[in-house]
Chains A and B, each alone.
Chain A
Amino acid sequence: MFLETLHLALQAILRNALRSFLTILGVVIGVAAVIAMVTVGQGSTDQVEADVSKLGTNLLMIRPGQGQGGPGGASSTAASLTLKDVDAIQDQVSSVNVATPMNSRMMTAILGNTNYSTNVTGTDNRYLEATDWAITEGRDFYDSELRSGTAACILGETVRKELFGSSSPLGDVIRIKQISCRVIGVLEAKGASSFGNDQDDRILIPIRTFHRRVAGNQDVSMIYAAIREGISTDKAKVDIELLMRERRRIGPGEDDDFNVFDMKQITSMLTGISSVLTGLLSAVAAVSLLVGGIGIMNIMLVSVTERTREIGIRLAIGATERQVLMQFLVEAIVLSLLGGLIGILLGLALAVVGSNMLAIPFAPDPVIILLAFGFSAVVGVIFGYFPARRAARMNPIVALRHQ
């Protein structure tokens, strides 16, 4: 009997193909919107996570200054970090695998007639280890170069491309301000970070070279500390904080005048933003799904009125209340499921296009797809029941007389 009901419902739907299509348009758009939003949202979350893990989720960043202030922050009032801090963290904090100093500045690199403004970072070889960054061409710094502050530099892929085009830069000398700097290596291309900046747009030089020739002081603006495998970020963070408080002579009860960020914090902040956005957009999309459901109810009510005579005929030739109810209910459910199906396909198609445009992975979530499908069935039941009941309760005599 169910198959017969389905047959009757399909007959009725096909008999009014255009109207059926317009009826489900609301659900199609609602479902497509939800699927597209969630899929693109999930893709961008995945992208952020991938970016951050590329940077190293086991990385802690230590900066002078109070509070969680972003770049700049309150650092000017707090004493800078020093190379001794780096050595102390490296030697005394057992949870830290590698600690590396960083100090950087935007400077113009010159080769012949070509000028290129880039980020010049003073650091050491452990920087490569901490950020898990390989050298594709050439080599890293010799210890002697690091100790003596030789003008040797390792280029990021973007800088290499800007200054040298397709030729190899190894052994050539570029000028950074007044420093003549020999290129000893090229970094592997990393692409854009989740913050949108180009990670390959940088030149590495030994930190001592930076101190002596660029900054004119011994400051370290940031320390990267890579945590030993299997040790929790929180533990490492506490260890570093204890050491730094001691080194910077911060009394009990006093606030830190430095802070330690971990990449996980940044990841969760970014994925948090992206999931809040996805949630909000999905909520809007869900509302449109609701509106789609009301659209179905509206058309079903119109359809019941318009088909009053048909209902009268069906009742007269022996359809029971239940059979008429089921026919209209199944019709509404089939309509909204059809809408759901088309919506899912359309949503996924939109998500593919959107993911391509935003250069993020296409991440369809089967749970959301099933949910959308189930939800459209529920929409059909809820918004189809009222019109169906109205049809079933009609008086056949009155219905037959209806023009």
Chain B
Amino acid sequence: MTLADETPVIALTGIAKTYGEGETEVRALQDVNLAILSGEFVAIMGPSGSGKSTALNMIGCLDTPTSGSYRFLGTEVGSLGRDQRALLRRNYLGFVFQGYNLLARTSALDNVELPLIYQGMARTERRALALRALARVGLTGREHHHPSQLSGGQQQRVAIARAIVTRPDVLLADEPTGNLDTARGQEIMELLTELNRDEGITILMVTHEPDMAAYAKRLVQFIDGRVASDTTNPAEIANVS
């Protein structure tokens, strides 16, 4: 590994996030330290309420920390405004959600083109990239189907195509297999693994399914808003419960 590679894509230092004030104060995250390097495939696990989703939202620049430092690609995210964070998401991040979150009554192609529209890309170029992304996730021939005409697994593939069409550095997946059966879930995980391996996209995935976490190369477990364990040991990852 070169030195440049050692600079983390994502660096959380002493991160805390609290919601509400006084009696109703909720400490979602406390003293979280996490560094993720380019090309990693990280699974984040933990019981509900452990802060894993809050952490993912923060890493996704959708939220800002109450205290501590979050540097994304060297930029201090906490000091950025809404629009600057939107630009980070647009250019460097891709999102995949449990509920797919595709625009209804909108073709797969139009859904995948959406981030490129916000980038201001010209129509023909946009179309070409979207078609390539759909082909990459194995949906050639279904470009003009609406989400309601696609199965859950296919919808999640459209969502993945939408997330990678901008060639992001980091792909964030929040329970990407949560709504799918095991076979379909495994297909999605294989797709993510390929994207990580072949395209070098850094992947962070929140999941509560050990089977799915097993695809990752690193496992971070959250408990009560803190990082409880962090391992790259394949044996530990495979045996997580």
Cβ-defined contact, A318 with B60, below 8 A: no
Is A1 positioned at the interface, with any CB of B under 8 Å from its CB? yes
Specify the chain A residue showing the minimal Cβ separation from B166: A318
Q: Mark B97-136, 1 if CB is under 8 A from A, else 0.
A: 1000111111000100011011110000000000000000
State A316–B115 Cα separation when bound (angstroms): 10
Cβ-defined contact, B87 with A318, below 8 A: yes
Q: Taking the nearest CB of chain B, how far is it from the CB of A150, in angstroms?
A: 89
State A8–B93 Cα separation when bound (angstroms): 22
Q: Provided the pairs A315-B86, A316-B62 are in contact, do residues A15 and B105 lie with their beta carbons within 8 angstroms?
A: yes
Cβ-defined contact, B115 with A318, below 8 A: yes
State A15–B82 Cα separation when bound (angstroms): 29
Cross-interface CB contact of A400 among B93, B97, B117, B163, cutoff 8 Å: B97
Cβ-defined contact, A316 with B89, below 8 A: yes
Range class of the A interface residue count: 20 to 34
Cβ-defined contact, B60 with A314, below 8 A: no
Is A309 positioned at the interface, with any CB of B under 8 Å from its CB? yes
Specify the chain B residue showing the minimal Cβ separation from A1: B120
Q: Provided the pairs A317-B118, A318-B115 are in contact, do residues A397 and B57 lie with their beta carbons within 8 angstroms?
A: yes
Q: Taking the nearest CB of chain B, how far is it from the CB of A394, in angstroms?
A: 11
Cβ-defined contact, A313 with B62, below 8 A: no
In the complex, chain B residues whose CB is within 8 Å of the CB of A320: 82-83, 86-87, 118
In the complex, chain B residues whose CB is within 8 Å of the CB of A321: 82-83, 86
State A310–B62 Cα separation when bound (angstroms): 15
State A12–B89 Cα separation when bound (angstroms): 23
State A1–B123 Cα separation when bound (angstroms): 11
Is B33 positioned at the interface, with any CB of A under 8 Å from its CB? no
State A397–B95 Cα separation when bound (angstroms): 12
In the complex, chain B residues whose CB is within 8 Å of the CB of A313: 101-103
Specify the chain A residue showing the minimal Cβ separation from B53: A397
Cβ-defined contact, A318 with B101, below 8 A: no
Is B63 positioned at the interface, with any CB of A under 8 Å from its CB? yes
Is A185 positioned at the interface, with any CB of B under 8 Å from its CB? no
Is B162 positioned at the interface, with any CB of A under 8 Å from its CB? yes
Q: Taking the nearest CB of chain A, how far is it from the CB of B60, in angstroms?
A: 7
In the complex, chain A residues whose CB is within 8 Å of the CB of B114: 314, 317
* Residues on A facing B (Cβ under 8 Å): 1, 4, 7-8, 11, 15, 309-310, 312-323, 396-397, 400
A-B contact pairs, 10 of them (CB 8 A): A4-B117, A11-B106, A15-B104, A316-B60, A316-B89, A317-B95, A317-B163, A318-B89, A318-B115, A320-B83
* Residues on B facing A (Cβ under 8 Å): 57, 60, 62-63, 82-83, 86-87, 89-91, 93, 95, 97, 101-106, 110, 114-115, 117-120, 162-163, 166
For the complex of A and B, the 4 pairs showing the least CB-CB separation, nearest first, are: A318-B90, A318-B89, A15-B105, A317-B115
